[in-house]
Amino acid sequence: MPTIASVTPSMQLKDKIKALNEVSAVLEPSTDQRQSLITEAHDFADTFLNKVTTMPTYSSASVDRDMSICHEAVPLHELLDLFKTEVTQKGIQPAAAGHLGYIPGGGLYASALADYLVGVTNEYAGVHFASPGAVAIEHAVLDWLKSVFRFPASAVGNLTSGGSIANLIALTAARDRHGVKSAMIPKSVIYLSEQVHHCIQKALRIIGLEDVIIREVLLDTEFRLQPEVIAKAIEEDRAAGLHPFLVIASAGTTDTGVVDPLRALGELCQTEGLWYHIDAAYGGFFILVEQTKALFEGIELADSLVVDPHKGLFIPYGVGAVLVKDKAAVMQSQHYTANYMQDTISDAHPLNPADVSPELSKHFRGLRVWLPLQLYGLDVFKACLEEKLLLTQYLREKLTDLGFKVGPKPDLSVSYFWYPSEKENPNTFNQRLMDALMADGDVFFSSTLLHGQFVIRIAILSFRTKLETVDRAVKMIERCLAGMLNEG
């Protein structure tokens, strides 16, 4: 093997270049080498996928082998072995069918293939000039989202790394449309629910709005926003000389999965001239299902909307989306040019993805959404989403049979349950039950606090979660509960 040590300062320029090439050429494997690499990677993936519906979902084991970069070449099989034991067998397995915690998605194989092709071709999806085809695919996905959520074709959008950055882009546009800066900051008011995803609060802080007045308005008994409460607060705030400018609703909250009353809030914002933002990162795609689509009536009234294809479309992590009606507001915060980019500017083409986002160079995310949608057709996704709704119902029924209490009839596929222990403080009992579920690990749940009450969450959204998975979950819960009730 040629090494860098064979390149000496005394060599002629061309000889040096050739000698360096001898070393660096390994970065471009030959056809045979590619075949052997892809076979190894493919075998690894296949072994993983053949177990993915039945494998345990959680392990509390920590990483115990050395993962540091050692500066020497290591064969792929050794690296894959490290990946297998340290990555795919520890923590939560997000691809596993039994992932019923947080908000799962699974990760479609077709998207993994798309990412492979994206990596190989390395298309530059930031500007139209660089890859008109990649940008056309991104726009095709965004146009489809506009049609699903009844946004006008004139709206702008972006495929982001996830819901957090998508929310950040939307909230920045709201800020700029309403001129919330300098002296306006302490007088400006945002209305939201204590149930908004924490990435909203984080985004507000990042974009310099931590000192605006954030009103966490009183929710109804099922944790939904109440438009009349907000209307009254707006009136009072205006009377006090303040500047209400933004209402943030959720279509599927993270804790309990409820959809806020979208139409009534939209009409209120229209009447009052406020920016209306809807975070539908978790729930948005349930608009595609007959049974739930009515909950999304009025979503088209939003000024900005966020959805997460890496949740509701089962794409692997790394793709969220934002739609904003007010193009000028987005451009004000996100559009910059630089001299070195002068060749890329053209009026003839649709907006560049880089004009709608803090990102310039970015992963070509469009393909990982576009490819599965085209490959399978939309009905497959609709069926899968409806299946998740019914599985949630099924699990709630089974839990009730076991003596558990369950939350109110869920809007979507997030719900919660707790055991009404009479011998022990219910919070302590359910915390201990949660610990037992984690220690078991066959299926993974997460927990939350609702008004101080400890509850175990159900979040069924992985495309791999099936009837058998839910039966496994019930068995696990039954076994953990029995263990606790038999303690003595």
**Measured distance CA(103)–CA(30) in Å, rounded:** 41
Nearest distance in Å: CB 392, ligand PLP? 16
353 binds ligand PLP (CB under 6 A): no
Here the tokens at position 343 are: 């060749």
Residue 197 in the binding site for ligand PLP (CB under 6 A)? yes
> Which tokens belong to 67?
């993962």
Amino acid sitting at position 456: I
Site for ligand PLP (CB under 6 A): which residue of 281, 287, 307, 395?
281
Q: Is 322 in the site for ligand PLP (CB under 6 A)?
A: no
Rg (CA), the chain: 26
Tell me which stretch binds ligand PLP (CB under 6 A): 58-66, 73-81, 157-165, 260-268: 157-165
Q: How far is the CB of 202 from ligand PLP (least distance, A)?
A: 10
**Residues near 382 by beta carbon (within 8 Å), at least 6 away in sequence:** 288, 289
Token reading at 230 = 């907000």
Considering beta carbons, is residue 194 or 401 the nearer one to ligand PLP? 194
Least distance from C-beta 105 to ligand PLP, angstroms? 10
Is the CB of residue 330 less than 8 Å from the CB of residue 356? yes
Binding mask 200-239 for ligand PLP (x = CB under 6 A): ----------------------------------------
Query: Of residues 92-111, which lie at the interface with ligand PLP (CB under 6 A)?
Result: 103
For residue 254, state whether it binds ligand PLP (rule: CB under 6 A): yes
Report in angstroms how near the CB of residue 348 gets to ligand PLP at its nearest.
Answer: 33
Q: Under a CB-based contact definition with an 8 Å cutoff, are residues 194 and 219 in contact? A: yes
Distance separating alpha carbons of residues 334 and 401, to the nearest angstrom: 53
Strands of 344-468, DSSP E: 405-406, 414-418, 446-450, 453-459
Give the nearer residue to ligand PLP in terms of CB position, either 167 or 430. 167
Smallest distance, Å, CB 16 to ligand PLP? Answer: 47
| Token pair belonging to 392 | 């949630």
Is residue 250 at the binding interface for ligand PLP, with CB under 6 A as the rule?
yes
487 CB burial (10 A radius; 0-12, 13-18, 19+): exposed
Based on the shown chain and the rule CB under 6 A, indicate whether residue 352 belongs to the binding site for ligand PLP: no
Confirm or reject binding of residue 308 to ligand PLP (CB under 6 A): yes
d(Cα 290, Cα 304) in Å, to the nearest integer? 24
**Minimal CB distance residue for ligand PLP:** 163
Regarding 412 and contact with ligand PLP (CB under 6 A), the answer is no
Stretch that binds ligand PLP, among 77-85, 134-142, 159-167, 418-426 (CB under 6 A): 159-167
Among 93, 111, 158, 164, binds ligand PLP (CB under 6 A): 164
282 binds ligand PLP (CB under 6 A): yes
The nearer residue to ligand PLP, 254 or 352, going by C-beta atoms, is 254
d(CA 206, CA 168): 8
Asked whether 129 and 346 are in contact (CB, 8 A), the reply is yes
Measure the CA–CA gap between 170 and 330, rounded to whole angstroms: 8
Q: Does 447 bind ligand PLP (CB under 6 A)?
A: no
Verify binding: residue 279, ligand PLP, rule CB under 6 A: yes
Instruction: Please check whether residue 21 is in contact with residue 13, taking contact to mean a CB–CB distance below 8 angstroms.
Output: no
Q: Cα-flanking dihedrals φ and ψ of residue 450, to 5°?
A: -115, 110
Torsion of CA 244, 250, 251, 254, to 10 degrees: 180
Binding status of residue 302 toward ligand PLP by CB under 6 A: no
What's the min distance (Å) between Cβ of 281 and ligand PLP? 3
Is residue 411 at the binding interface for ligand PLP, with CB under 6 A as the rule?
no
Q: Does 459 bind ligand PLP (CB under 6 A)?
A: no
DSSP element (H, E) containing 160: strand 156-160
Binding site for ligand PLP (CB under 6 A): 103, 162-164, 197, 199, 250, 254, 279, 281-282, 308, 320
